[in-house]
């Protein structure tokens, strides 16, 4: 199994608002932050900057939120609730916590404050996001390791798929899960939040250390200290205030014509590999698209990829904004692959992944395998704040062609298949196996089906 943790931050507002501050733990430790060299602000300058930042966040949401009723939340009253607390915020981390708590009142995903020290806009800044080469998976409660990159810090330390993560940097996972359960967060959303939290702690500046306590498959507990290394692969290009993110694409076409595609983020730079595989799969072959652990990205890419899978125009859904709506129309591409398509999803599949999966499912163009998706599908933008931190804010809600809202509900696969710790430890991937069996059977069925009568 290959799951790639998305480096995009899809927002922990509901997590923070419902579970009492878990999102704060995701921010990098103060000792690991490396702010740009600049003269420190005076007390008066800081007060002015934090006030301007607060007003920018509140006003941006006030003007852009897709629902003019704010889902029943009195947004003006929220401002009055948090505005008096500004004076007690003496630094950026304190201000981030206050702003995140304010955004949490909306109880929606895709609202968050991203520290500038952990965002990447230039090649020189890529050292801010080091990797330990581990993928994480929510396995019915425990957080488990499900992928270990070869020659990575995790691999060299003897970490194995199927190991359970008990704590990271002294923060125990079990109490976080309990708080999410007590807050009534649905299981698939719990998985998304815990995966985001753990992946957020695993990444950090190159050369810094993360401390894990693991339980191995045999039950033995051990402590592991991992030093973060440079990310060895490609990065996406920044787009305005949208930062760069590491890209991983796995593509293979078997000798019998079954293509497998897995990518961690919808980024333009990944399209060359995606298109290459779609062109490689033979017309009478089959295709498995693995969106597990893919937290989203450029929504327009979902329509673009879907256009390589159809000979007719259809819609993946509708984006509802404050001032109107926009359809995700799929336009057929010349030489499109028209054979059987399976899509794999799980609790780490969010945003654009959910939009694409749901749209293909409702159009009858793909069969979905795996587990219930995250239910975190609000299109969003990034905005630089006066503090230089980034605000991520949702600008729309998304409805499937059949009128189903994905946010808070998620996408239900056609075949639910649960991956266990035993599967991970044994190197098995029951979801991919089931999907490939279906693709092969469907391919055979089509090959032997009587030809349709000429019109």
pLDDT attached to residue 187: 85
Q: What proportion of the chain, given as a percentage, has pLDDT over 90?
A: 82
106-132 residue pLDDT tens: 999 999 999 998 899 999 999 999 999
Query: Cβ of 445: how many Cβ atoms within 10 Å?
Result: 10
Q: Quickly state the pLDDT bin for 261 (edges 50, 70, 90).
A: very high
Contact 94, 85 (CB under 8 A): no
What pLDDT, in 10s, does the model give residues 199-213?
889 999 999 999 999
pLDDT at 95 over 50: yes
Give the integer Cα–Cα distance in Å for 344 and 417. Answer: 10
Read off the tokens for 79.
């401002």
Closest among 12, 157, 2, 64 to 383, alpha carbons compared: 64
Q: Is the pLDDT of residue 74 over 60?
A: yes
Q: Which domains does the chain have, with CATH numbers?
A: 127-227 (2.30.42.10), 235-379+396-445 (3.90.226.10)
Q: How far is CA 249 from the centre of its chain?
A: 15
Q: Give the residue among 212, 193, 242 at the shortest CA–CA distance from 134.
A: 212
Residue 151: is its pLDDT beyond 90?
Answer: yes
Q: Supply the mean pLDDT for the chain.
A: 90
Least reliable range by pLDDT among 26-40, 268-282, 440-454? 26-40
Of all residues in the chain, what percent carry a pLDDT higher than 70?
91
Position 177 confidence tier, pLDDT thresholds 50, 70, 90: very high
pLDDT tens string 306-316 = 999 999 999 99
pLDDT interval class at 453 (50, 70, 90): low
Q: What is the pLDDT of residue 38?
A: 64
452 falls in which pLDDT band (50, 70, 90)?
low
Instruction: List, for residues 16-60, the tens digit of each pLDDT value.
Output: 232 323 333 334 343 334 444 567 899 999 999 999 999 999 999
pLDDT score recorded for residue 141:
74
The arithmetic mean of pLDDT across residues 338-363, rounded, is 97
CA-CA distance, 58 to 320, in Å (whole number)? 21
Closest-CA residue to 110 (of 246, 264, 297): 297
Confirm if 357 and 291 have CB atoms less than 8 A apart.
Answer: yes
Q: Identify whether the C-beta of residue 260 lies closer than 8 Å to the C-beta of residue 314.
A: no
Residue 96 CA to residue 109 CA, distance in Å, equals: 16
The answer to whether residue 147 scores a pLDDT higher than 80 is yes
Q: Residue 22's pLDDT is what?
A: 36
Encoded tokens for 159: 């970490």
The stretch 398-409 carries a mean pLDDT of 94
pLDDT of residue 39: 74
Q: What is the pLDDT of residues 220-252, one digit of tens each?
A: 999 999 999 999 999 999 988 989 999 999 999
pLDDT of residue 356: 98
Cα separation of 375 and 23, whole Å?
18
Could you read off the pLDDT of 315-330 as tens digits, one per residue? 999 999 999 999 999 9
Q: What's the confidence (pLDDT) of residue 126?
A: 93
- Asked if 264 and 351 count as a contact pair (C-beta separation under 8 A), the reply is no
Q: Which of 364, 358, 349 minimizes the C-alpha distance to 399?
A: 358
Provide mean pLDDT across the span 300-306.
95
- The Cα 72–Cα 107 span in angstroms is 11
Residue 140 has pLDDT above 80, yes or no: no
Q: Whole-angstrom Cα distance, residue 249 to residue 242? A: 20
β strands within 45-204, DSSP E: 112-114, 134-138, 143-148, 164-168, 171-172
3-state helix, strand, coil in the chain (%, to 5): 35, 25, 40
pLDDT of residue 19: 30
């Amino acid at each position: 199994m290959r799951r790639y943790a998305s480096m995009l931050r899809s927002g922990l507002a509901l997590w923070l608002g419902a579970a009492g501050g878990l999102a704060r733990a995701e921010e990098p430790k103060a000792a690991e932050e490396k702010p740009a060299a600049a003269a420190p602000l005076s007390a008066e300058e800081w007060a002015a900057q934090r006030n301007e930042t607060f007003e920018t966040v509140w006003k941006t949401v006030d003007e852009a939120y897709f629902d003019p009723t704010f889902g029943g939340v009195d947004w003006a009253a929220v401002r009055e609730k948090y505005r008096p607390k500004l004076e007690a915020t003496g630094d950026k981390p304190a201000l981030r916590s206050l702003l995140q708590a304010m955004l949490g009142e909306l109880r929606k995903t895709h609202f968050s404050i991203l520290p500038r020290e952990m965002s990447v806009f230039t090649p020189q800044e890529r050292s801010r996001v080091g990797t330990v080469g581990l993928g994480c998976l929510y396995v019915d409660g425990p957080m488990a390791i499900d992928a270990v990159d070869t020659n990575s810090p995790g691999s060299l330390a003897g970490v194995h798929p199927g190991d359970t993560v008990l704590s990271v940097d002294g923060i125990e996972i079990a109490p976080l899960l309990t708080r999410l359960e007590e807050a009534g967060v649905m299981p698939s959303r719990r998985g998304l939040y815990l995966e985001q939290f753990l992946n957020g702690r695993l990444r950090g500046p190159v050369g810094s250390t993360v401390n894990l306590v693991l339980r191995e498959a045999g039950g033995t507990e051990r402590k592991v200290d991992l030093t973060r290394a440079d990310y060895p692969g490609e990065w996406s290009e920044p787009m305005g205030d949208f930062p760069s993110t590491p890209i991983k694409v796995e593509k293979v076409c078997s000798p019998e014509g079954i293509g497998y595609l897995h990518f961690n983020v919808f980024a333009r730079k990944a399209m060359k590999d995606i298109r290459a595989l779609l062109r490689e799969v033979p017309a009478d072959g089959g295709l498995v698209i693995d969106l597990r652990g893919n937290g989203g990205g450029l929504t327009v890419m979902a329509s673009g990829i879907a256009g390589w899978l159809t000979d007719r125009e259809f819609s993946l859904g509708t984006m509802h904004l404050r001032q109107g709506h926009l359809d995700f129309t799929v336009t057929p591409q010349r030489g499109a692959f028209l054979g059987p398509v399976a899509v794999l999803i799980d609790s780490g599949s969010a945003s654009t992944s959910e939009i694409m999966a749901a749209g293909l499912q409702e159009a009858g163009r793909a069969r979905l395998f795996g587990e219930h998706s995250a239910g975190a599908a609000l299109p969003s933008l990034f905005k630089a704040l006066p503090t230089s931190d980034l605000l991520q804010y949702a600008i729309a809600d998304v409805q499937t062609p059949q009128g189903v809202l994905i946010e808070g509900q998620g996408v239900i696969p056609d075949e639910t298949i649960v991956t266990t710790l035993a599967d991970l430890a044994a190197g098995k991937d029951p979801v991919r196996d089931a999907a490939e069996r279906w693709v092969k059977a469907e391919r055979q069925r089509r090959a032997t089906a009587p030809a349709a009568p000429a019109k």
